[in-house]
Structure 1
Amino acid sequence: MAKKVTVSDLPNTEFINNAEVLGQLIKAKRTKLGIKMADCAALCGIGINTLSRLENGNANCTLAAMFSVLNGLGIKLTTNMLINSDSRTETAHSITTESEWV
């Protein structure tokens, strides 16, 4: 019998401020979808070791690999600040909730 994917918790933080939190977010999304690491890595076009390093918060992974995984899992990073290109002023925007992360 094949091993079932165990769902991981979302990070317990309001902001993604380091590689560890982003890795927790990626793992939570992957496991919520029930995708095994090998299948996710293949889907995203990266190696399983790279995916493992990303999920474990290794800050030395490339942005290309990170965005391959984010795009592959349908995770969109957003900001709560909009920059007006005409006046270069920042205006407040709604804060992204955990449900919008994943």
Structure 2
Amino acid sequence: MAKRIVLSDKPETDLATDPKLLGAAVRFVRTSAGLTIEDAAALAGVSKQTLNDLERAKPGTRMETMFKVMESLGIKLKIELPGL
């Protein structure tokens, strides 16, 4: 029997970016696409535990891993530089 995917709430993406917001965005896109955590981890080439840690903003998650997962899900990160 297939696992049931529960759609997560869409995060407020106009807020300052932090690990919790990035994790929430990853979870939202993953669940919106109907992907289990196992399937999304396989798609990104990371372990299920790593993806779970990333979605929960667990300290110690590598930035390189975050970008790898975001790219696999089609998530883009915008950088705004201060006016100098």
**TM-score w.r.t. structure 1 length?**
0.73
Give the equivalent residue in structure 2 for 1:7.
Answer: 7
Unaligned runs of 5+ in 1: 84-89, 92-102
**TM-score w.r.t. structure 2 length?**
0.87
Unaligned runs of 5+ in 2: none
Q: CA RMSD in A?
A: 1.8
Offset at residue 18 of structure 1 (A): 1.6
Code of the aligned partner of 1:50: T
Give the equivalent residue in structure 1 for 2:77.
Answer: 77
16-25 or 31-40, which deviates more: 16-25
Task: Give the 3 Å change call, closer, same or farther, for CA 64–13 of structure 1 in structure 2.
Answer: closer
Code of the aligned partner of 1:68: K
Give the Cα separation in 2 of the matches to 1:39 and 1:27: 13
Offset at residue 16 of structure 1 (A): 4.1
More helix by share: 2
